[in-house]
Amino acid sequence: MSTHRLLPIDPQTGRARDLRSLASHAAAFGPLPILPPSADGHPGPLIEAIAESRLCGRGGGWFPTARKMQAVVDSAAGRRKRSPGSRPVVIANAMEGEPASGKDAVLLAHVPHLILDGIQAAAATVGATDAYLAVHRGTPSIDDLERAIAERRSDLVRVELITPPARYVASEESALSHWAGDDTATPVYGDRPFERGMNGRPTLVQNVETLAHLGLIARHGGSWFAEVGDAQAPGTTLVTVGGRVRQPGVIEVPTGTPVSDILARCGGVDGPVEGFLTGGYGGAWVASEALWSAEWAPAQVREAGGVIGAGILWALDAAICPLHEMARVATYMAGESAGQCGPCRFGLPSVADDLTDLARAASTREDLARINARLALVVNRGGCKHPDGTARFIGTGLTVFSAEVAEHLGGGCSASRSGASLPIPKIRKTPVKRAGKDFR
Ligand SMILES: Cc1cc2nc3c(=O)[nH]c(=O)nc-3n(C[C@H](O)[C@H](O)[C@H](O)COP(=O)(O)O)c2cc1C
Ligand code: SF4
């Protein structure tokens, strides 16, 4: 019987099975069917199953995958008339820049061949002649991935492993498409990757979870995929559950699963929760009671005030100060920008500084008003969505934790425990010059 699982579970241990070898992968999932390639400026026949599946990208934006592939094919067809040989490129995004996310690492470690199947399926569908798997430098599974790639001698398209630096914005699609093999990988504005990406060629960038789903759609079809989950964004999805839960980790659930069930699968919350972070550091905070009753699907989580983003659900311990957490993350996010656009050069560092003062209970109402005014100014003004995501993280936090904000404006803090909860990677040398507090 076909399975909806990206991560088959070992019944003995209750953990995801180790399917790193091609033989174990083929035994678990069955063979990948022959993939008819695209021809004459049209997508390959698999596009119909992908459209029928209503698969949406799992890298954060939940954009319909079939539409994105069609855009790459159309762009390549238009370009070929002018410059023959400009065939598309596929980049599998396994960079997992969100520090609170663990789902892509789990896929790489357990089912690398399912990702590689998805790369082949994507390449056949858009007519790509080159494919890359991008993992950030220092990824523990690099040797295993190289072995997995070497095992696949009958693939249509050879996959090359690339290792850009482990920076938050290095995994944005235009940064990946234009990475020059050096220590910087910065977003490039202007043409989008589907128009001009790697080496000027139309480039399809997909998250590796999206591609792993594609590996299953190629086997079982689009209607099979859409049998489970939410009607608008069907299928299963990986959720990284962290914070104040008894068994944090990555689980796979059908989209539309109630948040309360997801938390129950992780052993339930382990004490009072102040609020939930949804979607990661480019995501949104939601009050506990608003999220608890919601279903984990893009539209429903949005209605509750959150975003699924890269599939992160983080329960914030009520004993910890949410403003300290927000200030730590805002400082990290300000330091991770590429420092190319006004909102990142001036806006984010200033907001992070003001938020740090607020967390220290050293702010006035005027300071708070300035944070809100600056947040409004950074939105929609960057070359990529990094400032928008960070502004949403901070803006929703100030609303959800308004009682704590009021306490801090009065010089206090309600936290009963000091300490940090959300993970912050070691901050590397920041390319951003701090601009002081005069950003308007
Ligand atoms: C600042 C920033 C960081 C991003 N980081 C990631 C990432 O780590 N992994 C990822 O898959 N997508 C990331 N994205 C989204 C990618 O740009 C791109 O939309 C995604 O890889 C497309 O895959 P999908 O359609 O399968 O979701 C990021 C976007 C932004 C703006
Ligand atoms: S908005 Fe920020 S991260 Fe995005 S391109 Fe501009 S400077 Fe770089």
d(CA 285, CA 104): 22
Residue 11 CA to its chain's centroid (Å): 29
Residue 130 CA, ligand 1 centroid: distance in Å: 20
Q: Which residue has the tokens 């506990």?
A: 288
Q: What pLDDT score was predicted for residue 38?
A: 84
Summarize the confidence of residues 372-386 as an average pLDDT. 95
Q: What is the pLDDT of residues 86-143, one digit of tens each?
A: 899 999 999 999 999 999 999 999 999 999 999 999 999 999 999 999 999 989 999 9
Least confident of 190-194, 246-250, 277-281, 293-297: 190-194
**In this structure, are residues 413 and 361 in contact, taking their beta carbons and an 8 Å threshold?**
yes
User: In degrees rounded to 5, what are phi and psi of residue 287?
Assistant: -65, 145
Q: What is the pLDDT of residues 170-204, one digit of tens each?
A: 999 999 999 988 888 899 988 899 999 999 999 99
Q: Which residue has the tokens 């022959």?
A: 34
Which letter does DSSP use for residue 341 in this model? Answer: S
Assessment of whether the complete model's pTM goes beyond 0.85: yes
Summarize the confidence of residues 314-324 as an average pLDDT. 96
Q: Which residue has the tokens 């997508």?
A: 43
- What order of strands is seen across the sheet that includes strand 203-207? 159-162, 130-134, 89-93, 203-207
Summarize the confidence of residues 50-62 as an average pLDDT. 98
Q: What pLDDT score was predicted for residue 4?
A: 62
Report the share of the chain in percent with pLDDT over 70. Answer: 95
**In this structure, are residues 397 and 326 in contact, taking their beta carbons and an 8 Å threshold?**
yes
**In this structure, are residues 69 and 126 in contact, taking their beta carbons and an 8 Å threshold?**
yes
For 238, the token pair is 């990986």
d(CA 432, CA 418): 29
Residue 376 CA to its chain's centroid (Å): 24
Ligand 2 and 344: CB distance under 6 A: yes
Q: What pLDDT score was predicted for residue 257?
A: 97
Burial tier of 192 (Cβ tally within 10 Å: 0-12, 13-18, 19+)? middle
**In this structure, are residues 22 and 151 in contact, taking their beta carbons and an 8 Å threshold?**
yes
Return all residues near 153 (Cβ < 8 A) that are at least 6 apart.
none
Residue 135 CA, ligand 2 centroid: distance in Å: 21
Strand ranges for 99-235 from DSSP E = 130-134, 159-162, 203-207
Residue 317 CA, ligand 1 centroid: distance in Å: 28
Ligand 2 and 97: CB distance under 6 A: no
Return the closest-CA partner of residue 221 out of 55, 27, 41.
55
Q: Is the pLDDT of residue 414 over 60?
A: yes
Q: What is the pLDDT of residues 282-296, one digit of tens each?
A: 999 999 999 999 999
Q: Is the pLDDT of residue 344 over 80?
A: yes
Return the closest-CA partner of residue 252 out of 91, 53, 1, 17.
17
Residue 189 CA, ligand 1 centroid: distance in Å: 15
What is the residue with the minimal CA distance to atom 6 of ligand 1? 171
Return all residues near 168 (Cβ < 8 A) that are at least 6 apart.
97, 98, 99, 281, 332, 333, 336, 337, 386
Strands 130-134 and 203-207: unpaired
**Ligand with minimal distance to 393 CA:** 1
Report the share of the chain in percent with pLDDT over 90. Answer: 86
The CA R_g of the chain, rounded to the nearest whole Å, is 22
Ligand 1 cavity residues, CB under 6 Å: 57-61, 63, 68, 93, 95-98, 168-169, 171-173, 205-207, 210, 384-386
Domains and CATH numbers, the chain: 22-225 (3.40.50.11540), 236-317 (3.10.20.600), 322-409 (1.20.1440.230)
The pLDDT mean for the chain works out to 93
- Under the banding of pLDDT at 50, 70 and 90, the label for residue 427 is low
- Under the banding of pLDDT at 50, 70 and 90, the label for residue 2 is very low
Q: Is the pLDDT of residue 40 over 60?
A: yes
Per-residue CA distances from 130 to 69, 135, 340 (Å): 15, 17, 30
Q: Is the pLDDT of residue 377 over 90?
A: yes
- Under the banding of pLDDT at 50, 70 and 90, the label for residue 431 is very low
Q: What pLDDT score was predicted for residue 84?
A: 61
Residue 174 CA, ligand 2 centroid: distance in Å: 11
Burial tier of 28 (Cβ tally within 10 Å: 0-12, 13-18, 19+)? middle
Q: What is the pLDDT of residues 201-217, one digit of tens each?
A: 999 999 999 999 999 99
d(CA 69, CA 38): 11
Summarize the confidence of residues 141-153 as an average pLDDT. 96
Ligand 2 and 386: CB distance under 6 A: yes
Which letter does DSSP use for residue 182 in this model? Answer: S
**In this structure, are residues 158 and 132 in contact, taking their beta carbons and an 8 Å threshold?**
no
Ligand 2 and 174: CB distance under 6 A: no
Q: What pLDDT score was predicted for residue 180?
A: 86
Q: Is the pLDDT of residue 1 over 50?
A: no
Summarize the confidence of residues 397-409 as an average pLDDT. 97
Burial tier of 427 (Cβ tally within 10 Å: 0-12, 13-18, 19+)? exposed
